[in-house]
A and B are shown apart, each in its own frame.
Chain A
Amino acid sequence: MSDEQNPPTPQKRGPVPVRKQATRRRFIRSVALGSAVVGLSFLGFVPVGNAYKPRLRPPGALEEKDFLASCIKCGQCVQVCPVQAIKLGDIDEGYGIGVPFIDARNQACDFSCDAVQCILACPTGALTYRKPDFAETRAGMQMSRAPVLKAKEKDPEPTLNLKERIGVARLDRPELCLAVQGKGFKGQARGPAFTGLLRYMEVDRWKPIPVRDHPYEREVCDLCVTECPIKDAIAMVGFVAEDGSRRFKPVVLEQCVGCGVCEMVCPTEPAAIVIDQRKEWSA
């Protein structure tokens, strides 16, 4: 192919055959595709690494790292929950996509299934009654004794098969708390538009009903204490206010499992009491 006017330099190769050129282009394209997809998969770590959306996980969940690894993202836990408390994470949660969580303020876990059925439904042991030996367990996550479900208190087996808490309730904004202010509460706890469900033993043992269909009337607001499904998890404790009057405030106890019912029923906006997800108990 050399030309008289422009003799090729000795090290210069002849033109690459079309076929070879196509193969080379295809190879470069393939490498680019590979890098792009791998790059995108690493992107999934960003929301996980900086805990962009810390989530309250369903009962029996392994520690977050183990949980994300073992969850197969199938949503069987979602399907068995009688109050649909469990939702699945979206792609903005990176590796947390399809992983179940509970948004307690909208719908807490009220244990109206009686038996933590989400754990029973989990096919991979991401939600488990008994952690495998190698799995991490933090101090203060284990319950000192099996929590007693108030609804089953008179049953021969009143406890929940739950070894660890999923979080701990905390009076986050005492200044908003109606009891601390010495106020009572009358009406629908979360207003007429709220769709959350709760089991009321005196209404129906088996069927949870909308909170809005069960108005309250309390001289001193104590919904977080009376509606708590677990025995000895929270109590009203008296104290003397600055003006010398006698007041009450909710105090969270060691039996708190972190289910979030107190956060859901709290009538103030925002909730005065909240769940710290994955928080260990400290006296």
Chain B
Amino acid sequence: MMGAFDRIKVMLGAEPEKATVFTPEAKELHELKRMNKADFQAMKQHAREHQLVNHKWRNRRWAVLLFTNLLFTFSFWLDIQMLEGALTASRFVGFHLIDLNSALQVMLAHKHIIVNLFIGTATVFFLWAALGGRSFCSWVCPYHLVAEWFEWLHLKLVDRKLVTDHEFHRGTRTVFWVLFSLMALLSGYTVFETLSPTGILSRALIYGPSLALGWVLLLLVFEVVYSRRAWCRYVCPIGLTYGMVGAVSPLRVEYRLENCFHEGDCRKVCLVPHVLDVVIKGRAPDKHVPIGPDCTRCGLCIDVCPSGALRYDIKGLGKLL
């Protein structure tokens, strides 16, 4: 059975391993699905026909993302002083909040940590450890939203066979994480910040447009014509930093084998489809399986699933209630 450690390995770039040990319930469910093929097809058809086009979580997420980023903007423009600063570092009604990856870059480059930097970093660490780590990506990061819109364009072009998606090895991101850390440590400059579309977009939203937006546009064009969601999938160390933090998070998406018809729509919409390896027929080692730490908790799979096999879950809450 895939443990927390194996799920972290998958996040770092390893291929998901097929389960060899199955719980009796899971075995039974897999068996049931195999035996009643005609019935199973009919049930699947039934679920399909009653499927509602649903964007509930996507809409909520976009609203939260826009609200958060505009709160920065308006705090400055209207001088309401709610959330001052940018995504890299800010004060929420006076409390320091510091982006974990930016903090890491500064700590490695400067090699000196003042109290406010520590407090802000610790606050954000606990915040995202509770809220699911990479949920930062899909619920807050402005580049994620823009990239989602351009992904739609990419998929249209793929449909018309005008472009194809070129995959990279997912381990590339892990290598980048190490390289960017090393570059900060050895050069004494916060090298990644110069390239980070997250920081660039956040500052542009607050302090006005910059030449740096040209770089962000280049990235988006690259993603449209060459490789789907390449920055988030294969490069961005921010995602991996938050992924590590979220590895212990109680908030996650949970897979329910008994509701699944193995149609695979979830894997098509997912930014990180390797975390959904478990939904492939015959793979789930247990009746309920938590989705790994690389999951951004974006909820697209939950929206797209016609039979409710994926849902948000808070670890331990079920037992508590």
A69/B189 in contact, CB under 8 A? yes
Does A161 interact with chain B (Cβ within 8 Å)? no
Residues of A in contact, count (CB < 8 Å): 43
Q: A41-B191, A44-B191, A95-B189 are in contact. Are A124 and B210 (CB under 8 A)?
A: no
A94: nearest chain-B partner, CB-CB: B194
Asked if A33 CB lies within 8 Å of chain B CBs, one says: yes
Complex Cα spacing A79 to B103, Å: 20
Q: Which residues of A contact B175 (CB under 8 A)?
A: 34
Chain B residue contacts of A241, Cβ below 8 A: none
Tell me if A214 counts as interface (CB < 8 A to partner B).
no
Residue pair A74, B85 in contact (C-beta under 8 Å):
yes
A residues near B187, Cβ cutoff 8 Å: 45
Distance (Å) between the CB of A55 and the closest chain B CB? Answer: 15
Q: A30-B169, A34-B176, A123-B120 are in contact. Are A75 and B211 (CB under 8 A)?
A: no
A38 x B179 contact (CB < 8 A) = yes
* Chain A residues with CB under 8 A of B230: 33
CA distance A27 to B215 in the complex (A): 25
Q: For the complex, give the distance between the alpha carbons of A135 and B112 in Å.
A: 10
* Complexed CA–CA distance, A169 and B90 (Å): 33
Cross-chain contact A29 with B103 (CB below 8 angstroms): no
- What residue of chain A has the Cβ atom nearest to residue B184's Cβ? A69
- Does residue B86 face the partner (Cβ distance < 8 Å to A)? yes
Asked whether A123 lies within 8 Å of B116 as measured between CB atoms, the reply is yes
Known: A123-B117, A125-B112. A29 touches B168 (CB 8 A): yes
A76-B90, A98-B88, A134-B112 given as contacts; is B203 within 8 A of A44 (CB)? no
Whether the Cβ atoms of B207 and A124 lie closer than 8 Å is no
Do A68 and B235 have beta carbons less than 8 Å apart? no
A240 CB-CB contact with B under 8 Å: no
B203 pairs with A75, CB closer than 8 A:
yes
Q: In the bound complex, do residue A30 and residue B168 qualify as a contact, i.e. CB atoms below 8 Å apart?
A: yes
Chain B 115-140 interface mask (CB, 8 Å, partner A; 1/0): 01100100000000000000000000
Say whether A37 contacts B190, CB under 8 Å.
Answer: no
Q: B167 on the interface (CB 8 Å rule)?
A: yes
Q: Are A37 and B176 in contact (CB under 8 A)?
A: yes
- Complex Cα–Cα for A211 and B248 (A): 57
Contacts beyond the supplied A73-B203, A80-B84, A97-B200: 9 A-B pairs with Cβ under 8 Å: A33-B168, A65-B188, A69-B109, A69-B110, A72-B117, A95-B189, A95-B191, A98-B200, A123-B85
